[in-house]
Amino acid sequence: MTASFATDPVLNVRGLSKTFGSLHVTRSIDLDLHAGARIGLIGPNGAGKTTFVNLLTGVIPADAGSIALDGRPIERLSAERRVRRGLVRTHQLNALLLEETAVDNIAIAIAERDRKAWRMLRYGAAWRACVEEAHDWLREVGLARLANGRVSELSYGDQRLLEIGIALSLKPRVLLLDEPAAGVPSGEAHAIHAMIERLPRDVAVLMIEHDMELVFRFAREIVVLVAGGVYTRGAPAEIAADERVRAVYLGRSAA
Amino acid sequence: MSESEIIRPVAAPARPGLPLLAGRLLPWAAVIVVFFALPDRLTLGANVFIMALFALSLDLAVGYAGIVSLGHAAFYGIGAYAAAICAIHLTPDPILGLVFATIVAALFGLVTGMLILHTRGVTLMMLTLAIAALAAETANQAHAITGGDDGLQMPELEPLLGHFHFDLWGRTAYLYSAAVLLVWFLISRRIVRSPFGRSISGVRQNVRRMRAIGTPVWGRLVATYALSAGIAGSAGALAAQSTGTVGLNAMSLLASGTVLMVLALGGMGRLYGAFIGALVYVVLQDFAAEMDPFRWMFVIGALMIAVVLFLDDGLMGLADIVGRRFSGRVR
Amino acid sequence: MEYVTILLDGLAYGMVLFIISVGLTVTMGLMRVINLAHGAFAMIGGYAAAALIQAGAPFAVALALATLGVAALGALAELLLYRPIYRKGELSQSLMTFGLTFVVIAALTSIFGPGVRPIPIPSALDGMMNLGFRAYPTYRLFLIVVGLALMGLLWLLIDGTLFGARLRAAVDNPRMCQAVGVNVRLLFTVAFALGCGLAAFGAVAGAQLMPLDSYYALRYLVLFLVVVGVGGLGNFRGSFVAAVGLGVVDTFSKYLVPNAAPYVFYGLVVALLLWRPDGLMPARSAS
């Protein structure tokens, strides 16, 4: 792989592999994410995109390979510890605290980020600070008007925005967006697209998305995953012009 | 109008209004009034407080953290035995006995919690059952320490704080239990509103979300479980100290089921539910004192079925509905 | 005591556990409902059979009537009490079924009084049978044979019939099963009734090993749950392995270390559940 950056990558993945029985769901994937990277991960259904994210985040253990965040190995850390190191993801399906308000969803994340979430008895000022900062993040993602609304009563698009807001409030080094716009009605999609454009510049972002228009507009590099392995990678224009990639997609959709 | 434009007031306002404050003080005012107005029913009152404390402990585990414990009587029983053993072998001071029992129960909760809280759902429920069965079996077999089938008799305790004798009418036991309940209630209320409390409530609502923000889920659950066990142990110690006896039934499956029922009857995840459930339960039990134990079991069982089928949020939920009807306010 | 005899005793005990518990694994695996009242259905069967025998009915008739009666009762309970709680959480389910157990215990005790309800061994099964290398009680051999036969029958039923195929499909993926037109509701009712009937059968047949008294439904409840949990929810082969294994271990430890037997048993259970939280043979592959 050609590294065109002078700096060290924030996230460095080498030879990441996973098999379920005899099925190779992830085949020795290499990937570098530099600060400010915007990489799109695409591939036909069943190519192993979600498995790859689950391996990165530690939801399932890898069979082989190394993952380093800021040069430190994290492949043996639990999912929670990886998050605390700055490897943050959003979920394909909503994973919000539905009984809480929007602002509390973020405040709880901030308390966790600042190691204040063990506080049981003395917490007044600390918690107020978390809530205050949470309001800032809500403004950031454009949900300030809904701060005290119950999450279960938010529209689906607003829930997706909140999901991104929670991830951002953790101040990630690397952000994995797992189909951020999936299932959002077209009327609300523009708000999410706009939010994705506005992600902090220094955060390395890896986006998995089926919406090709969104991926090609957002990404500066695209990685194509087929049958668990990297099929090809390159700039969006190269990938768009690549006949083989088109064949992979067409072949699948025709089957 | 799109739904996203409605701004709803949620949760309690930062400064409770006067009526709300009065509502919160009411139960505690009632405790004082009963003390003077019904001097011959104080033993019953103490039972209410003890049951409320036991249910409160379960509420932290089940209602807040979502740990469905089918063997909570193990902690209650361990607290009761520990209080008795402390009084027999260590010191007749009731407060030291209470603290000792609380710590022993919490430690047991800590150790067993560390073992079993990796699991979830049905497996976790079975493990709580199996551990309660082990604890009960130990109490049954360790004759030398627990008296086995015969149970233990408490020796005479020192006066509480050096002044208040445990009297025949239960005045001291009444106020003592009420005070312990108040202390644990205030601590619990503080905790459920804390960042810690919010995170355990988050674990109940959506584990995936909490892992994704970096919450050490297992550690939080273990801490909650140990706390809950400690409070249950306090309740058991109060029971032992106020009745003067401890028996195997403190650890039985019936006791575990009963406290679940009391909590469900009152309403989960709201602390006060434990109070209402305990009050209704103990008063019912008093009315049924003449009944043979199996009739009583029938009443408990029927109540459990009725609560599940007809009273989803318990009596507190019912009170909410009635309250809303009258005031037209949103909770 | 000779080890072979202890082993046979353990097998007999394990078979009774299996017969009673296998219905529970269907309820908990298929319907995903926490059923703490399974022991209560077994107990109803046992009490009914004891009453029939006392009234002069032969053992076999009492066994058959108790099995069928409890199966019918189970179908009724499924319709009236269990359907409303399928959608409620595990907490409501445990509460309701716990309550049902208390009600059943209380009702049976107030009708029949406290104490053990005897079910005498029928004369045909009384006595010893010569196995060639030793004599062994016929009754316990009968239990082992019945357990093995039931296992074989279930194997045929579940792997070889349409009903079984539907049952397996429903355990694996209830929504898909419904979508392809299987009447899942009816399937639930039938499976529940079958499980309750088997529980009654096991309680009557195994009454010598697990005596029927007022607390039967509670005392053995943990045992049945443990068999299901250790075996893997919804997996009848797992239940068989777990029941026989735990039965043998428990019997051995009762002979060898009488005082520590409960610790051996529950210690093993806790260890197994921690080692394999989804049981020895999980029915559904982790997805």
The neighbours of chain C, by the rule of 3 or more Cβ pairs under 8 Å, are B
Which region among B171-185, B194-208, C267-281 has the lowest average model confidence (pLDDT)? C267-281
Tell me the residue type at A110.
I
- The predicted-structure confidence for A159-176, as pLDDT tens digits, reads as follows 999 999 999 999 999 999
Helix (H, G, I), strand (E, B) or coil at A20: strand
Contact B302 C110 (CB under 8 A): no
How far away is chain B from the Cα of C230, in angstroms, using its nearest Cα?
9
Across the interface, of B127, B129, B297, the residue whose CB is closest to C105 is: B297
**Of C239 and B21, the one with more pLDDT:** C239
In 10 A of CB B133, how many CB atoms? 24
Q: Above 60 in pLDDT, residue A199?
A: yes
User: Do residues C74 and B280 make contact, with C-beta atoms less than 8 angstroms apart?
Assistant: no
**Of B280 and B312, the one with more pLDDT:** B280
Q: Summarize the confidence of residues B111-121 as an average pLDDT.
A: 90
Q: What is the ipTM of this complex?
A: 0.86
Question: What is the C-alpha separation between B181 and A45, in angstroms, rounded?
Answer: 57
Q: Which residues of C touch B307 (CB under 8 A)?
A: 95
Q: Which residues of B touch A101 (CB under 8 A)?
A: 10-11
User: Do residues A39 and A206 make contact, with C-beta atoms less than 8 angstroms apart?
Assistant: yes
Q: Which of B291, B298, B312 to mutate to test the interface with C (most CBs of C within 10 A)?
A: B298
pLDDT for the residue A250: 60
**Of B18 and C282, the one with more pLDDT:** C282
Q: Summarize the confidence of residues C168-193 as an average pLDDT.
A: 80
C183 Cβ neighbours under 8 A, 6+ residues apart: none
How far away is chain B from the Cα of C108, in angstroms, using its nearest Cα?
9
CA end-to-end span of chain B: 22
pLDDT for the residue A1: 46
Question: What is the C-alpha separation between C107 and C128, in angstroms, rounded?
Answer: 37
Which region among A243-252, C178-187, C260-269 has the lowest average model confidence (pLDDT)? A243-252
Confidence of residue C286 (pLDDT cuts 50, 70, 90): very low
Confidence of residue A6 (pLDDT cuts 50, 70, 90): low
Contact B195 A89 (CB under 8 A): no
Q: Summarize the confidence of residues A123-141 as an average pLDDT.
A: 93
Indicate the average pLDDT of chain C: 86
A13 burial type by CB count under 10 A (0-12 exposed, 13-18 middle, 19+ buried): buried
DSSP percent split of chain C into helix, strand, coil, nearest 5: 75, 5, 25
Contact C110 B127 (CB under 8 A): no
Q: Which of A174-183, B47-56, B140-149, C20-29 is modeled with the greatest confidence?
A: B47-56
Tokens 């009725």 correspond to: B306
Which region among B86-100, B162-176, B233-247 has the lowest average model confidence (pLDDT)? B162-176
Which region among B127-141, B221-235, C28-42, C166-180 has the lowest average model confidence (pLDDT)? C166-180
Confidence of residue C259 (pLDDT cuts 50, 70, 90): confident
Which region among B31-40, B217-226, B240-249 has the lowest average model confidence (pLDDT)? B31-40
User: Do residues C48 and C69 make contact, with C-beta atoms less than 8 angstroms apart?
Assistant: yes
Cα torsion B263, B269, B270, B275 to 10°: value is 10
pLDDT for the residue C114: 86
- Number of residues that this document lists for chain B: 331
Contact C225 B129 (CB under 8 A): yes
- Number of residues that this document lists for chain C: 287
Tokens 């949470």 correspond to: A134
Which region among A35-39, B21-25, C151-155, C238-242 has the lowest average model confidence (pLDDT)? B21-25
Confidence of residue B19 (pLDDT cuts 50, 70, 90): low
pLDDT for the residue B71: 92
Tokens 């607290």 correspond to: B79
Confidence of residue B106 (pLDDT cuts 50, 70, 90): very high
Residues facing A204 on adjacent strands: A174
Angle (CA) C137 C138 C144, round 5°: 100
Give, in order, the Cα–Cα distances in Å from C164 to each of B302, C4, C26, C35, C168: 35, 36, 11, 21, 6
For C135, phi and psi rounded to 5 degrees? -95, 140
- The predicted-structure confidence for A35-56, as pLDDT tens digits, reads as follows 889 999 988 887 888 889 899 9
Helix (H, G, I), strand (E, B) or coil at B284: helix
Q: Above 80 in pLDDT, residue A253?
A: no
B134 Cβ neighbours under 8 A, 6+ residues apart: C262, C263, C266, C267, C270
Q: Summarize the confidence of residues B169-185 as an average pLDDT.
A: 90
Chain A CB within 8 Å of residue B162 CB: no
Residues facing C13 on adjacent strands: none
Q: Summarize the confidence of residues B69-83 as an average pLDDT.
A: 95
B31: left (phi over 0), alpha (psi -120 to 50) or beta: alpha
